[in-house]
Structure 1
Amino acid sequence: MTENLSVPFSLPPVIVALDLAQPQAALELAQQLGSHRCRLKIGKELFTRGGPPLVEKLVNQGFEVFLDLKYYDIPNTVAGACEAAADLGVWMINVHAFGGRNMLLTARETLEKRSQRPLLIAVTILTSLIMTELYAIGLHGTLEENVLRLARLSKACGLDGVVCSPQEIFLIRQNIGTDFKLVTPGIRPFATSQDDQKRIMTPEEALKRGADYLVIGRPITAAPDPLQALLEITASID
């Protein structure tokens, strides 16, 4: 198991999404940003190209890494994947709440056997989806009703929190309370492009509503000066 270096001070709530195609570019950007300024998210494309060695390099450099692979399979398969991710020393991993109660419970119970474990959160409804797309895949009720149903299921199964659109933060806080981590993608600073996100919000607004962590990608990674973009966002929410 790779030892996860602890951060000796409080980090800002920003998780920078390293949605880059090449591992070397991701490592260079991470070094520029610094482990004392942010956490990092590694998603499917970068993990597929860089694999566990990339994750271990970032962890050994002191970064708290959110491994965003949205595991969704039969319970034993997901539990095994979660354990493998935990062996890399990551700070947080996620599964998809659509996997159901048994999958969520098995993943949580597997991680609880460890003396140290990553946070385990569940994805509710992707921030790229809108109502017409939910109807097309057979989900009934409003988008908010579906998000709350999945958040309640995740809480009942003992998970640490959920990924949700910032527009559902207040709804979840009202119904589930404060002892539940809310990780919010779809964060766009004022006057930046929304890209392929549909349900977005500024960092300041998301934190005011009760978000714990803000996942921010292209406004930082695609900026002419990524470090300056990160510092400006951090200053705006400090």
Structure 2
Amino acid sequence: MAATDFADRLIVGLDLPTVAEAETAVRELDGIARFYKIGYRLAFAGGLDFARDLVADGKKVFLDMKLLDIDNTVAEGVENVVRMGVTMLTLHAYPKAMRSAVDAAEGSALTLLAVTVLTSMDNRDLAEAGYSFDAHALVERRARQAREAGMGGVVCAAPEAAAVRNIVGTDMAVVTPGIRPAGTAHGDQKRVMTPADAIRAGASHLVVARPIVGARDRRAAAQKIIAEMQQA
């Protein structure tokens, strides 16, 4: 598979405080990366308009909003996201919310992603939050529910990608955040994996933020990750 193909499987997390800084990152990565994640931090600083600009410029956008609300509110939010023309949208993997989102996005090109268990959480965190499942069991349960709801993909930690891929089959996306190249700090991520190992495990897309946008040479950092993906 060519490097250009892997450029569509690497999602660069624009976890930056301002649109101006995000614009700089995109310029620096021009010709290397084509897919960008916009989450809460940037969204609340003008990032939703920036997402529209990226789409207009031919880039792909992963809108990481992790929606969860009453059915009608989720559906209405998804309808407006469809109009933005972004490629992917996340919501928490609660069955009713997923079914409402799938109905709202029917007929569009939007890929809905079910967030299973955040990569910053471990079994102790889940127990504190009141869950009786451990992280692996809860991820598997939510992956099955996402498949049954008709979602386009699942977001999970890379160590769970193989199990999720076995559940969802070959047609759904398996998107893995918490990717850390060998030798880099884990930060606040608790369930991590290298780019090559994540691809081998069955991930279709890797979300990488700090190891790229926080690097002194962003182009070199992105190229190194793409090369690791190719090795797999």
**TM-score, normalized by length of structure 1?**
0.91
1:175 corresponds to which letter in structure 2?
I
- Which 4+ runs in 1 deviate beyond 4 A? none
Q: Deviations over 1:136-174 (max 9, x none)?
A: 111112211111011111110000111000011111122
Q: Report the alpha carbon displacement of residue 39 of structure 1 after superposing the two structures with TM.
A: 0.7
Answer whether contact 1:27 1:58 (CA < 8 A) is retained: no
Counterpart CA distance in 1 for 2:55 and 2:165 is: 31
| Alignment partner, residue 96 of structure 2 | 102
Q: Classify the secondary structure of the residue corresponding to 1:162.
A: strand
Answer whether contact 1:19 1:217 (CA < 8 A) is retained: yes
Q: Report the alpha carbon displacement of residue 178 of structure 1 after superposing the two structures with TM.
A: 2.0
Q: Classify the secondary structure of the residue corresponding to 1:69.
A: strand
* Distance verdict in 2 for CA 1:156–1:35, change over 3 Å: farther
Counterpart CA distance in 1 for 2:81 and 2:44 is: 14
Q: Report the alpha carbon displacement of residue 180 of structure 1 after superposing the two structures with TM.
A: 1.8
Q: Report the alpha carbon displacement of residue 175 of structure 1 after superposing the two structures with TM.
A: 3.0
1:111 aligns with 2:105: yes
1:51-90 matches, within 5 Å, as: 51-90=47-86
1:122 aligns with 2:111: no
Q: Report the alpha carbon displacement of residue 35 of structure 1 after superposing the two structures with TM.
A: 6.0
Cα root mean square deviation, aligned? 1.4
1:145 aligns with 2:137: yes
| Alignment partner, residue 157 of structure 2 | 165
2:10 corresponds to which letter in structure 1?
V
| Alignment partner, residue 39 of structure 1 | 35
Counterpart CA distance in 1 for 2:121 and 2:80 is: 30
Q: Report the alpha carbon displacement of residue 233 of structure 1 after superposing the two structures with TM.
A: 1.1
1:188 aligns with 2:184: no
Answer whether contact 1:11 1:37 (CA < 8 A) is retained: no
2:96 corresponds to which letter in structure 1?
N
Counterpart CA distance in 1 for 2:82 and 2:163 is: 31
1:174 aligns with 2:171: no
Counterpart CA distance in 2 for 1:74 and 1:212 is: 30
* Distance verdict in 2 for CA 1:105–1:35, change over 3 Å: farther
Which sections of structure 2, spanning at least 5 residues, go unmatched?
Answer: none
1:93 aligns with 2:85: no
**TM-score, normalized by length of structure 2?**
0.93
